[in-house]
Amino acid sequence: MKFFVDGANVKEIKELAEMGLVDGVTTNPSIIAKTGRKIKDVIAEICEAVDGPVSAEVTATDVEGMVREGKYLAKIASNVCVKVPLTEDGLKACYRLRQENILVNVTLCFSSMQALMAAKAGATFISPFIGRLDDIGQEGMTLISEICQVYDNYPEITTQVLAASLRHPLHVKQVAEIGADVATLPAKVFKQLVKHPLTDNGLDAFLKDWQSTGQSIIED
Protein backbone atom coordinates (compact mmCIF):
# COMPACT_ATOMS: atom_id res chain seq x y z
CA MET A 1 0.00 0.00 0.00
CA LYS A 2 1.24 3.47 -0.82
CA PHE A 3 1.02 6.46 1.52
CA PHE A 4 0.96 10.06 0.36
CA VAL A 5 1.20 13.12 2.62
CA ASP A 6 -1.79 15.41 2.21
CA GLY A 7 -0.15 18.75 2.84
CA ALA A 8 2.48 21.25 1.76
CA ASN A 9 4.66 21.64 4.84
CA VAL A 10 8.04 20.62 3.42
CA LYS A 11 9.65 20.15 6.85
CA GLU A 12 6.89 17.74 7.93
CA ILE A 13 7.05 15.89 4.60
CA LYS A 14 10.84 15.45 4.93
CA GLU A 15 10.49 14.17 8.51
CA LEU A 16 7.99 11.52 7.42
CA ALA A 17 10.16 10.63 4.42
CA GLU A 18 13.06 9.90 6.78
CA MET A 19 10.95 7.03 8.19
CA GLY A 20 10.36 5.69 4.67
CA LEU A 21 6.64 6.41 4.95
CA VAL A 22 6.18 8.74 2.00
CA ASP A 23 5.39 7.50 -1.53
CA GLY A 24 4.02 10.81 -2.76
CA VAL A 25 2.22 14.03 -1.79
CA THR A 26 -1.18 15.57 -2.50
CA THR A 27 -2.04 19.25 -2.33
CA ASN A 28 -5.11 21.26 -3.24
CA PRO A 29 -5.74 25.01 -3.63
CA SER A 30 -6.79 25.35 0.05
CA ILE A 31 -3.59 23.63 1.23
CA ILE A 32 -1.44 25.86 -1.01
CA ALA A 33 -3.33 28.98 0.14
CA LYS A 34 -2.44 28.15 3.77
CA THR A 35 1.30 28.21 2.97
CA GLY A 36 1.08 31.84 1.84
CA ARG A 37 3.68 30.97 -0.82
CA LYS A 38 3.67 30.73 -4.62
CA ILE A 39 2.39 27.36 -5.86
CA LYS A 40 5.35 26.99 -8.23
CA ASP A 41 7.89 27.36 -5.41
CA VAL A 42 6.06 25.06 -3.00
CA ILE A 43 5.53 22.29 -5.57
CA ALA A 44 9.14 22.52 -6.79
CA GLU A 45 10.42 22.16 -3.23
CA ILE A 46 8.16 19.20 -2.46
CA CYS A 47 9.06 17.48 -5.76
CA GLU A 48 12.72 17.74 -4.85
CA ALA A 49 12.13 16.23 -1.40
CA VAL A 50 10.02 13.29 -2.57
CA ASP A 51 10.56 10.73 -5.34
CA GLY A 52 6.89 9.82 -5.94
CA PRO A 53 4.02 11.74 -7.54
CA VAL A 54 3.20 15.19 -6.16
CA SER A 55 -0.32 16.34 -6.97
CA ALA A 56 -0.75 20.02 -7.89
CA GLU A 57 -4.27 21.16 -8.71
CA VAL A 58 -5.43 23.38 -11.56
CA THR A 59 -7.78 26.23 -10.72
CA ALA A 60 -9.18 26.97 -14.18
CA THR A 61 -12.62 25.43 -14.69
CA ASP A 62 -12.69 25.28 -18.51
CA VAL A 63 -10.93 22.58 -20.45
CA GLU A 64 -8.48 24.83 -22.32
CA GLY A 65 -7.54 26.63 -19.11
CA MET A 66 -7.05 23.35 -17.24
CA VAL A 67 -4.87 21.90 -19.99
CA ARG A 68 -2.79 25.08 -20.12
CA GLU A 69 -2.34 25.17 -16.33
CA GLY A 70 -1.78 21.40 -16.22
CA LYS A 71 1.05 21.60 -18.76
CA TYR A 72 2.58 24.51 -16.84
CA LEU A 73 2.45 22.62 -13.54
CA ALA A 74 3.84 19.46 -15.17
CA LYS A 75 6.91 21.41 -16.29
CA ILE A 76 7.84 22.22 -12.67
CA ALA A 77 9.24 18.70 -12.15
CA SER A 78 8.98 15.26 -13.71
CA ASN A 79 7.05 13.89 -10.70
CA VAL A 80 4.24 16.45 -10.79
CA CYS A 81 0.81 14.85 -11.06
CA VAL A 82 -1.81 17.31 -12.34
CA LYS A 83 -5.00 17.33 -10.29
CA VAL A 84 -8.26 18.13 -12.07
CA PRO A 85 -11.82 18.17 -10.68
CA LEU A 86 -14.34 15.51 -11.62
CA THR A 87 -16.38 17.64 -14.02
CA GLU A 88 -16.98 17.20 -17.75
CA ASP A 89 -14.24 19.72 -18.52
CA GLY A 90 -12.02 18.05 -15.93
CA LEU A 91 -12.38 14.68 -17.68
CA LYS A 92 -11.66 16.28 -21.07
CA ALA A 93 -8.52 17.84 -19.59
CA CYS A 94 -7.59 14.50 -18.00
CA TYR A 95 -7.90 12.72 -21.35
CA ARG A 96 -5.82 15.37 -23.14
CA LEU A 97 -3.08 15.52 -20.49
CA ARG A 98 -2.83 11.72 -20.34
CA GLN A 99 -2.28 11.64 -24.12
CA GLU A 100 0.84 13.69 -23.43
CA ASN A 101 1.90 11.19 -20.74
CA ILE A 102 1.30 13.66 -17.91
CA LEU A 103 0.21 12.02 -14.64
CA VAL A 104 -3.36 13.01 -13.69
CA ASN A 105 -5.22 12.77 -10.37
CA VAL A 106 -8.98 13.26 -10.76
CA THR A 107 -10.25 14.77 -7.53
CA LEU A 108 -13.50 15.52 -5.68
CA CYS A 109 -14.98 12.10 -6.49
CA PHE A 110 -18.16 11.22 -4.58
CA SER A 111 -19.62 8.23 -6.48
CA SER A 112 -18.36 4.97 -7.95
CA MET A 113 -19.77 5.89 -11.36
CA GLN A 114 -17.82 9.16 -11.32
CA ALA A 115 -14.79 6.99 -10.57
CA LEU A 116 -15.58 4.73 -13.53
CA MET A 117 -15.81 7.76 -15.83
CA ALA A 118 -12.43 9.01 -14.59
CA ALA A 119 -10.90 5.60 -15.28
CA LYS A 120 -12.30 5.70 -18.83
CA ALA A 121 -10.75 9.16 -19.25
CA GLY A 122 -7.38 7.60 -18.38
CA ALA A 123 -6.88 8.99 -14.85
CA THR A 124 -3.70 7.83 -13.14
CA PHE A 125 -5.37 8.29 -9.73
CA ILE A 126 -8.97 8.75 -8.61
CA SER A 127 -9.46 10.64 -5.34
CA PRO A 128 -12.67 9.73 -3.49
CA PHE A 129 -13.20 12.01 -0.46
CA ILE A 130 -14.22 9.96 2.58
CA GLY A 131 -14.33 12.57 5.36
CA ARG A 132 -16.45 14.99 3.36
CA LEU A 133 -19.12 12.29 2.84
CA ASP A 134 -19.00 11.47 6.57
CA ASP A 135 -19.44 15.22 7.19
CA ILE A 136 -22.85 15.17 5.48
CA GLY A 137 -23.99 12.00 7.26
CA GLN A 138 -23.12 9.49 4.53
CA GLU A 139 -20.88 6.46 5.02
CA GLY A 140 -17.73 7.60 3.18
CA MET A 141 -16.01 4.24 3.47
CA THR A 142 -18.73 2.53 1.40
CA LEU A 143 -17.55 4.60 -1.55
CA ILE A 144 -14.04 3.12 -1.37
CA SER A 145 -15.46 -0.43 -1.31
CA GLU A 146 -17.73 0.30 -4.26
CA ILE A 147 -14.95 1.81 -6.39
CA CYS A 148 -12.54 -1.04 -5.61
CA GLN A 149 -15.26 -3.57 -6.47
CA VAL A 150 -16.06 -1.90 -9.81
CA TYR A 151 -12.39 -1.45 -10.78
CA ASP A 152 -11.56 -5.04 -9.79
CA ASN A 153 -14.14 -6.32 -12.28
CA TYR A 154 -12.17 -4.83 -15.18
CA PRO A 155 -8.48 -5.76 -15.40
CA GLU A 156 -7.97 -3.17 -18.15
CA ILE A 157 -8.54 -0.38 -15.60
CA THR A 158 -5.18 0.83 -14.36
CA THR A 159 -6.43 3.88 -12.42
CA GLN A 160 -5.26 3.71 -8.80
CA VAL A 161 -7.72 4.33 -5.97
CA LEU A 162 -6.29 7.16 -3.85
CA ALA A 163 -8.39 7.35 -0.69
CA ALA A 164 -8.54 11.03 0.31
CA SER A 165 -10.07 13.23 2.98
CA LEU A 166 -8.95 10.73 5.63
CA ARG A 167 -9.17 12.41 9.00
CA HIS A 168 -8.13 9.80 11.60
CA PRO A 169 -6.40 6.40 12.06
CA LEU A 170 -9.66 4.42 11.83
CA HIS A 171 -10.20 5.78 8.31
CA VAL A 172 -6.72 4.53 7.37
CA LYS A 173 -7.33 1.09 8.92
CA GLN A 174 -10.57 0.74 6.99
CA VAL A 175 -9.14 1.77 3.60
CA ALA A 176 -6.21 -0.61 4.17
CA GLU A 177 -8.64 -3.44 4.95
CA ILE A 178 -10.64 -2.69 1.81
CA GLY A 179 -7.45 -2.57 -0.26
CA ALA A 180 -7.24 0.98 -1.66
CA ASP A 181 -4.02 1.45 -3.65
CA VAL A 182 -3.06 4.69 -1.91
CA ALA A 183 -4.09 6.60 1.22
CA THR A 184 -3.30 10.30 1.48
CA LEU A 185 -3.10 11.58 5.05
CA PRO A 186 -2.27 14.78 6.88
CA ALA A 187 1.07 14.58 8.76
CA LYS A 188 -0.87 14.59 12.03
CA VAL A 189 -2.57 11.29 11.14
CA PHE A 190 0.80 9.66 10.24
CA LYS A 191 2.00 10.56 13.74
CA GLN A 192 -1.18 9.16 15.31
CA LEU A 193 -0.66 5.91 13.40
CA VAL A 194 2.89 5.50 14.72
CA LYS A 195 2.19 6.34 18.35
CA HIS A 196 0.88 3.90 20.97
CA PRO A 197 0.88 4.54 24.76
CA LEU A 198 1.93 0.93 25.48
CA THR A 199 4.98 1.40 23.26
CA ASP A 200 5.97 4.53 25.20
CA ASN A 201 5.31 2.94 28.63
CA GLY A 202 7.14 -0.25 27.63
CA LEU A 203 10.15 1.71 26.41
CA ASP A 204 10.29 3.75 29.63
CA ALA A 205 10.30 0.54 31.71
CA PHE A 206 12.98 -1.12 29.52
CA LEU A 207 15.26 1.92 29.81
CA LYS A 208 14.79 2.16 33.58
CA ASP A 209 15.69 -1.53 34.05
CA TRP A 210 18.63 -1.18 31.69
CA GLN A 211 19.98 1.81 33.58
CA SER A 212 20.00 -0.26 36.81
CA THR A 213 22.49 -2.72 35.20
CA GLY A 214 25.08 0.03 34.74
CA GLN A 215 25.96 -1.54 31.35
CA SER A 216 26.38 0.14 27.99
CA ILE A 217 25.99 -1.92 24.81
CA ILE A 218 29.09 -0.53 23.12
CA GLU A 219 32.00 -0.89 25.52
CA ASP A 220 34.98 0.32 23.51
Q: Which residues are near ligand E4P by CB under 6 A?
A: 6, 26, 28, 107, 127, 129, 131-132, 164-165, 167, 184
CA-to-CA distance for 201 and 211, rounded, in angstroms? Answer: 16
Q: What are phi and psi of 192, to 5 degrees?
A: -65, -35
| Closer to ligand E4P by Cβ: residue 43 or 211 | 43
Catalytic residue among 83, 92, 120, 195: 83
| Closer to ligand E4P by Cβ: residue 98 or 168 | 168
| Closer to ligand E4P by Cβ: residue 29 or 202 | 29
CA-to-CA distance for 172 and 67, rounded, in angstroms? Answer: 32
Q: What are phi and psi of 82, to 5 degrees?
A: -80, 130
CA-to-CA distance for 167 and 161, rounded, in angstroms? Answer: 17
Which among 106, 61, 63 is positioned nearest to 81, based on CA atoms? 106
CA-to-CA distance for 101 and 97, rounded, in angstroms? Answer: 7
Nearest approach in angstroms of CB 131 to ligand E4P is 5
User: Residues 12, 187: contact at Cβ < 8 Å?
Assistant: yes
Distances (CA, A) of 197 to 27, 173, 193: 31, 18, 12
Q: Is 83 a known active-site residue? A: yes
Nearest approach in angstroms of CB 90 to ligand E4P is 14
| Closer to ligand E4P by Cβ: residue 68 or 132 | 132
Nearest approach in angstroms of CB 29 to ligand E4P is 9
Nearest approach in angstroms of CB 145 to ligand E4P is 18
Catalytic residue ranges: 83
